Amino acid sequence: MKKNLFGNSARWIGASVAAAALVGGFLALPAGAVTSAPYKTLTTVTSSAHSTVTGAPLSYSISVIARPSSIAVPTYGQVTVSGVTCDGGSNVFALNGSNTVSCAVSGGLTPAQAGVVSATYVDTVDGQYRSSTGTSNQVVNPARSTTTLTSSANPSKTGEGVSFTASTSVVAPGVGALTGAETFTGVTCDGGSNVIAVNGSGQATCSVSAGLLAANSPVIVGVSYGGDPNFATSASSVRQITSQAATSVAVTASPNNCSGDICALQPNTAVSFTALASSSGSDGGTGVPAGNVTFSIVPAGGNPRQSLPCDGGTNTFANGSATCTIAAGLPSLVYYTVTATLSDPNYAASTGTLYEETGQTGSNISVSVPKGLTAGASFPITAVVTPAAGSGPTPSGVVEFSVCGNNNQYGCQGGTATLDSTGTATFTVGGGEYAGYYRYYANYLGDGNYLPATAPNRLFLVGKTPTQISVSSTSAPAMDGTGIGLTASLTVRDASGGAGGSTLVGPPTGAMTWTITDPSGASFTCQDGNYQALNNGITDQGVTTCYLPAGTLTAEGGVTTLYRVTVSYSSDGNYSSSSSRFQQVVVPMIS
């Protein structure tokens, strides 16, 4: 039954009804006005983004209005949303004083969830409004992705294991977990398949444990993410550089009469040399070189163009391992340097060497002594022995040394010393020599590879040991009328102690001369004379004294007087002369 517009239960609806004029006690309504409930409604659904991508946040605004628009909008009842799941888990919303509600989908949708989103309004209070349903067609596209590719080692070495990791991520505003696989190109991944599924972090790794070859460098390694229903494809690449790996070459001889890299061979006896090249592993490279190996068998003092040929006429062999045979053997009385050199596009060049001896060869010996030698100081004589041909194994064995005074003076000192790993021997002349000229002699006694050699003797000088004098006084200053004691001490000046520490030369000998003058030039005499021999007792070596009795040096005219004291050493055969000045002060007697 229709309700009276003026009844207590009637609702005053619509702006046009409110504006109606009262005529003759009755309300005059506009033409065409709806005068009875339930009123029609219109529900609309508006998306925050009609077209979006996987995982991008969405929200829907649902509005309900009455039809015609002259009727007041509904502000009660409920709206039920379908086609999506709103945040919070409930798709039913109440109109609480507003004709609008919102449905947020913060986790977004996937392309599979795209389609029609609908909202149905129902008047759940008094039936004044009819139900209505609105829809919106939601478009969801796969989100964009981006892929980066990194190498575990770039550059790498031939044979060095390397891995390539593809990392794919979703480009905002897209959100979600990637699935699918990466496809690698340019290399062959371990296991034979270059299609590798991404993990939960969007990564996939292609490992090439056998490494790559320098001969093929550079290689463009690519990766393509194939996408999945929710995310688009993407790709990346790296330019992988592979460098030659370090190598070593080992050379052996047969017959193998070798000690280290020095071998002995009977002259004109069949011999073969085998070279084996391998990666050294020092730089991470691995694998077996397969390039060419070239042999060089060069006589002492020769050059590579004089290399003896291997049987068959060629000295270059393939596959990184080769044997050079010389059935006629090597001529006698000379040593040979045998080298094998690797050449391979994937591996760095390297050379192995050994020395094949077929007899003794000549040697050279050079000798040296230090400069600036002084009497009594120990000193070394050094000899260096080298191959006469300029190259070859290091000579070993013993060197005989002797040092003799020139013109048969002073006799000789000598002994033997063994060559070290550099071909050097040192003999020390202990206790030194007297001052004068000497000659040294050195003879190398030879070894299994080298003939003996003698060094030309050379003349050298052992100089006198420098000295210095220090002077002290028992009274500094001295009181007028008192005796004065002066002491002069002679010491050596070189840091080694010189002849003073020598068991051969001993301490300085000779005498010191005292000269004492006053300001006017007048001279004074020590109690025991001004020329005094050096004391050479256990506790007073190189010492002289001058005692001036009371009254000898005075404060002339009752004023302080300065006396000049000069002490001179005249030298001996092993020590140089020296002198020193000292100032003796005499002050007046205090009265």
pLDDT (tens digit, 9 = 90+) per residue, 200-217?
999 999 999 999 999 999
Query: What is the distance between the alpha carbons of residues 5 and 2, in angstroms, rounded to a whole number?
Result: 9
Instruction: Look over the chain and give the mean of its residue pLDDT values, rounded to a whole number.
Output: 89
User: What is the predicted pLDDT for the residue at 148?
Assistant: 98
Q: How confident is the model at residue 494 (pLDDT cuts 50, 70, 90)?
A: low
- Say what the pLDDT of residue 333 is: 61
pLDDT in tens, 13-70: 333 333 333 333 333 444 445 557 899 999 999 999 999 999 999 999 999 999 998 8
DSSP, collapsed to helix, strand or coil, labels residue 216 as helix
Q: In the chain, pLDDT over 90 holds for what percent of residues?
A: 70
Residue 377: predicted pLDDT = 85
**Which has the higher per-residue pLDDT, 387 or 578?**
578
Helix (H) or strand (E) holding 400: strand 398-405
Query: Which pLDDT value is given to residue 449?
Result: 73
- SS3 state of residue 408: helix
Q: At 495, is the pLDDT very low, low, confident or very high (cuts 50, 70, 90)? A: low
Question: 3-class SS at 4?
Answer: coil
Cross-strand partners of 356? 263, 336
Classified as helix, coil or strand, 410 is: coil
For the chain, give percent helix, strand, coil, nearest 5.
Answer: 5, 50, 45
The pLDDT value given to residue 8? 32
Q: What is the arrangement of strands in the sheet containing 219-225, beginning at the earlier edge strand?
A: 195-197, 181-185, 219-225, 234-240
What end-to-end distance do the CA atoms of the chain give, in Å? Answer: 157
* Cα distance between residue 76 and residue 73, in whole Å: 9
pLDDT reported for residue 432? 83
Structural domains in the chain?
A: 15-141 (2.60.40.10), 145-243 (2.60.40.10), 247-357 (2.60.40.1930), 363-462 (2.60.40.380), 467-587 (2.60.40.1930)
What is the spatial distance between Cα 104 and Cα 42, in angstroms, rounded to a whole number?
21
Q: Which amino acid is at 331?
A: P
* pLDDT given at position 193: 96
Q: With 80 as the cut, is the pLDDT of residue 580 above it?
A: yes
pLDDT of residue 1: 34
Of 129-138, 239-248, 319-328, the one with minimum mean pLDDT is 319-328
Tally Cβ neighbours within 10 Å of residue 9: 7
Q: How do residues 63-95 score in pLDDT, each as one tens digit? A: 999 999 889 999 999 999 999 999 999 999 999
Taking the CA atoms of residue 12, residue 15, residue 18 and residue 22 in that order, the dihedral angle to the nearest 10 degrees is -130
Q: Rg of the Cα trace of the chain?
A: 56
Per-residue pLDDT band for 539 (boundaries 50, 70, 90) equals low
Beta strands in 123-270 (DSSP E): 132-141, 145-151, 156-157, 162-170, 181-185, 195-197, 203-208, 219-225, 234-240, 242-243, 247-254, 258-259, 262-264
Lowest pLDDT segment from 171-175, 359-363, 410-414 = 359-363
Q: What is the pLDDT of residues 402-460, one digit of tens each?
A: 999 988 788 899 999 999 999 999 999 988 888 999 999 999 999 877 889 999 999 99
Contact call for residues 229 and 114 (beta carbons, < 8 A) = no
What gap in Å lies between CA 518 and CA 55, rounded to an integer? 114
Enter the pTM of the model. 0.55
Residue 237: pLDDT over 60? yes
What pLDDT band is residue 3 in, cutting at 50, 70 and 90? very low
- The per-residue pLDDT for 544 is 93
One-letter amino acid identity for 107? Answer: G
* Cα distance between residue 12 and residue 15, in whole Å: 9
Q: Which of 45-54, 254-263, 286-295 has the lowest mean pLDDT?
A: 254-263
